[in-house]
Chain A
């Protein structure tokens, strides 16, 4: 890229980035959080043959708004025995990293010549894992700062759980990176748009002309998704806050908006996790069978705006399907025991992920 052009367009880049942050993070992810809370309650109700919240607004869609107002208006009570500074810091620390990870996820191809990703980094997945690994501070500090037994146990549990599953989460996507030879999420999606999604290599060159690679990719996907459940503290791995053992875990002492921030952080992490899974395994913003797929190396300006709009809608449609999958799993499976959780992480997924890397290397070597 020419350095002069870079200098001239700095202001333009800054403004475009600001618009993308507002449009993607504040106008899409946060409403999606509210919507997924509503979906969680409605889907769980449907699965348990109940009605669910259907009174506020059409189909109960305004329920999250009512919940938000309730959270804001409730008394923000800070118990006497807590460590004040960290007690205040902890909820923000769970919310902020979740939203920061949005920056590298490509939520569309391009619109009006502008790439639909906030930061087009060459270390996309690594950046997501790096920032996501900071979420643990919020939980561990919440547990410690609360200065009482159950929150502390919840915080300790979550620390060891998140560290354990971070390893298999990171290792699980190594085969994909080996196959694409690329850490830039935008280019990974572009490749999938033309050559078939990682999990559905049915058109184009289909994962380098060989369906054999579909085996390691599937193993990767299973490890990745399961680890994502553990990382976001969702059932069946919600040990840090399991109510039958720990009252409410790390957020027992929290009330009002501080509690809401933990809640929002968890759902935001779930949405970003879905976004990453969709991006890596299901072709991100691309339509199946190469429909409307931009040619590899096409300039952002060459993509018509309505293609871009369809790509954005496709991405969010896939993310919503994935969120529904998250919800369905939560209301289907019972909670794991803590030792089972640790055994699964260290004795099954860790080894499986490493074997998977070697398997991918062997397959790639044979194909070449």
Chain B
């Protein structure tokens, strides 16, 4: 099982690197799909089947398809090779290292990293699988935030429709 973790983690990381490194926008977008797939597999390894599946369904299967679609339709040209400024590289490295150090400190202090966490089914106590658990929480504890988010999405959708209508004066 550990070897599977390393394989999928490598897919996720190299996909992420590919997004930045490749000059061709289609290749970049496609690397991102691979990164999402690796990430989804990692979620599934953590018993979070719903999160992993939604990761594929929403991000890899819908959003990235639209990205790719638009890149192809607009025929975005290949990026030109630019010289890479040294200061930017140092900055990126510093931010990345800072993030890793911060994560390590948090994990060390919380003690999450020591020992294996219980299985999700066992942790929820009732033998509920994660999808039932999430459904229950969404419609009991978090029903109000869900309504707000729904409203927000509706407003955004109406906004898009209004903005994209050309004959509107």
Contact = CB atoms under 8 A, between A and B. Distances in A.
Nearest to A155: B72
Contacts of B33: 137
B101 interface: no
A122 B61 contact: no
A152 to B, nearest CB: 8
A156 B49 contact: no
Given A122-B129, A122-B130, A156-B72, A130 B53 contact: yes
A160 B62 contact: no
B9 interface: no
A131 interface: yes
Interface string A138-166: 00110010000000100110011011001
B72 A140 contact: yes
Interface string B88-116: 00000000000000000000000000000
Given A133-B56, A163-B65, A122 B72 contact: no
Contact of A159 (B69, B130, B132): B69
B57 to A, nearest CB: 4
A65 B20 CA distance: 45
Nearest to B64: A137
Interface string A169-213: 000000000000001000000000000000000000000000000
Nearest to B60: A134
Interface of B: 26, 30, 33, 49-50, 53-54, 56-57, 60-62, 65-66, 68-69, 72-73, 119, 121-122, 129-132
15 contacts: A3-B122, A121-B49, A127-B49, A129-B57, A129-B61, A130-B53, A130-B54, A133-B56, A134-B61, A136-B61, A140-B68, A140-B72, A152-B72, A159-B65, A160-B69
